[in-house]
Structure 1
Amino acid sequence: MTEVGKTLSEKTLRIINKLQQNEVTERAIYLNLVKRVKKESEKVTLQRIADEEGKHAEIWSNYTHHKLKPQWFKVWFYTILSFIFGYTFTIKIMENGEKVAQSEYSKLMTEVPEAEAILQEEEEHEQALIAMLDEERLQYVGSMVLGLNDALVELTGTLAGLSFALQNNKIVALSGLITGISATLSMASSEYLAARSEENQNALKSALYTGIMYIFAVVFMVLPYLLFPSDQYVHALITMLAIVVIIIFVFTYYISVAKDLSFKKRFSEMALISLSVAALSFLVGFLVKRFLGIDL
């Protein structure tokens, strides 16, 4: 093996060094994820994959003649990511990294016999990962989407309309919070009753996911009206709309990665609906204020 390593080009050795580093780092990440999952079958699968990553790193070390330590920033980053978005999302991001690595393996097959075997195992990793993914929070994606979509559409329209009708950020914020909290309780209750009518044993969890996503959107959307001076309602409105687009982007990306759905289509659809409702509501606020002759 040592003699083979000496015959490899400098470019090939650089690729092998990169692959070795990836394997060592990914092994550390998988071991951290083992601590995060609850199902024993998932722990076993992740542990097996971590062991295989370690075996691959050992093979590459026979060519590079040195051991590498994990890139701890990347390990830390993916660990934090798993706490925020769950291990399903984290593993899917890891999958994308493995696809990049597979293209590197293809280049090495002619020079390094082990590359083909490792590539085959990497492909098996992907199938094993997909088969094991059964994270609880993704079982409630429907409830999460319901809460977030309803909050974005309803509250975007409400705040846009109130912005022009009231032209006072503090009053708009007060009205938005009252409306948002009331709507959160109403939506969570409706989700609970709907789930119970379908004999869902986890109706309470469905309601909680709906309510949490709703109040999350409410807080961030009302925030600009609390931060800007009372008379700068246009600035608050524009900031609120920017926050709406960011929320839609982040949530749609999360769902798209975790559930293997089209990002562009879902993002465009949600953004178009929310911003269209905001524009119409702003117009309604203008017309109501003008025809009723109310000036606050």
Structure 2
Amino acid sequence: MDQKFLKKVKLFQQKEITENEIYLNIAKKIKDEKNRTTLEKIAEEEMKHYEIWEKYTNEEMQPVKREVLYYTFLAKLFGYTFAIKKMENQENQEELEYIFDQELLKEIPEAEKIYQDELVHEKKLIDLLDEERLRYIGSMVLGLNDALVEFTGSLAGYSFAMQSNKLISLAGLITGISATLSMATSEFLSARSDEEENPTKSATYTGIAYLLTVVLLIMPYLVLPDQWYGIALGIMLLLVILIIAVFNYYIAVAKDLSFKQRFKEMSIISLGVSALSFIIGLLVKRFLGIDL
């Protein structure tokens, strides 16, 4: 075989055996039988492709261990749907186009079928995955979005109304905990009235998303000196951007959605409410003549 083709075949052969091990590693840790079986089927396809390429290279390949460890860790941290879809992202699409050029398709008869499997069949199998946390993504979005909009606005208003990190932290904790309980309860009642399968889980995901956001946003006020409320506010707003970016990236990968549009929308809303609340805090302090 031409050395140019051989290089491409070896590249894809190693990719197949690496992904085979990743799928098997992730499958071992999944309790749901349907999802585990789906991942095992994909792993089996990867192995079949590996064996086809091996006939042409006459070489055995070992999985790239750092990639196996990386995606196994991602699956544990963010869920297996996120890890797998990240692995099969646009970068891999470009890699496929590089390997499966027209010359190679003519040179190796089986290459066309492998190419179609990678583009279509495996994607269909991945779309069959039904991870629990993604079924409740709407509840997570509700909790996170409300916390970012409402609580960011509250902290911005408190910052220049109170001008004391201790007081802002106290007011923020009371507001945050109360709002978490309120949001979780509202989500439970809403889910039950809509006759959802498990309203308790919907409420739990909403409450957890809200509470984690509250804790992260209030942290600068808790750890910085009392009079550094302006710096705490700045750090809090940076955390808002970071949380929005991370969460929307997760959603974009796991649910095949647009990252830029969702990130832009949530950022404008959250920071807009913060700016308005900041102004309200200044006005309240000035016109009521309160000096804390």
Q: Deviations over 1:81-131 (max 9, x none)?
A: 11222111122112215423421342221333332121122121111221x
Which stretch of the first structure deviates more once superposed, 109-118 or 142-151?
109-118
**Partner of 1:287 in structure 2?**
283
**Partner of 1:256 in structure 2?**
252
Note if contact 2:38-2:129 (Cα within 8 Å) is conserved in structure 1. Answer: no
Which stretch of the first structure deviates more once superposed, 110-119 or 187-196?
110-119
Aligned mates of 1:154, 1:173 — CA distance in 2: 15
Which stretch of the first structure deviates more once superposed, 210-219 or 100-109?
100-109
**Partner of 1:190 in structure 2?**
186
Note if contact 1:181-1:215 (Cα within 8 Å) is conserved in structure 2. Answer: yes
Sequence identity (%): 56
**Partner of 2:211 in structure 1?**
215
Question: SS in structure 2 opposite 1:37?
Answer: coil
Aligned mates of 2:270, 2:57 — CA distance in 1: 54
Aligned mates of 2:166, 2:55 — CA distance in 1: 67
Q: Deviations over 1:226-258 (max 9, x none)?
A: 122111111111110011111111111111222
Note if contact 1:105-1:119 (Cα within 8 Å) is conserved in structure 2. Answer: no
Within a 5 Å distance, the mapping from 1:159-198 to structure 2 comes to: 159-198=155-194
- Residue 70 (1) aligns with residue 35 (2): no
- Residue 90 (1) aligns with residue 86 (2): no
Note if contact 2:156-2:277 (Cα within 8 Å) is conserved in structure 1. Answer: yes
* 1:57, distance to aligned residue in structure 2 (A): 1.7
Note if contact 2:217-2:239 (Cα within 8 Å) is conserved in structure 1. Answer: yes
Question: What one-letter code is carried by the residue in structure 2 that aligns with 1:116?
Answer: E
Among 140, 144, 166, the residue aligned to 2:136 = 140
Q: TM-score, normalised by structure 2?
A: 0.94
- Residue 103 (1) aligns with residue 97 (2): yes
Within a 5 Å distance, the mapping from 1:224-235 to structure 2 comes to: 224-235=220-231
Note if contact 1:105-1:115 (Cα within 8 Å) is conserved in structure 2. Answer: no
Q: Deviations over 1:166-225 (max 9, x none)?
A: 111121112111110110011101111111222223011010000000001001000111
Aligned mates of 2:187, 2:169 — CA distance in 1: 26
Aligned mates of 2:192, 2:44 — CA distance in 1: 44
- Residue 59 (1) aligns with residue 52 (2): yes
Aligned mates of 1:18, 1:12 — CA distance in 2: 10
Among 264, 271, 283, the residue aligned to 1:268 = 264
Aligned mates of 1:87, 1:99 — CA distance in 2: 20
Aligned mates of 2:263, 2:34 — CA distance in 1: 34
Note if contact 1:105-1:116 (Cα within 8 Å) is conserved in structure 2. Answer: no
Q: How many residues align?
A: 288
Q: TM-score, normalised by structure 1?
A: 0.92
- Residue 81 (1) aligns with residue 74 (2): yes
**Partner of 1:50 in structure 2?**
43
Aligned mates of 1:39, 1:105 — CA distance in 2: 35
Question: What one-letter code is carried by the residue in structure 2 that aligns with 1:102?
Answer: L
Note if contact 1:191-1:206 (Cα within 8 Å) is conserved in structure 2. Answer: yes
**Partner of 2:20 in structure 1?**
27
Question: SS in structure 2 opposite 1:109?
Answer: helix
Aligned mates of 1:288, 1:236 — CA distance in 2: 20
Aligned mates of 1:292, 1:40 — CA distance in 2: 63
Which structure 1 residue ranges, 5 or more long, are not aligned?
none
Which structure 2 residue ranges, 5 or more long, are not aligned?
none
Aligned mates of 2:49, 2:193 — CA distance in 1: 51
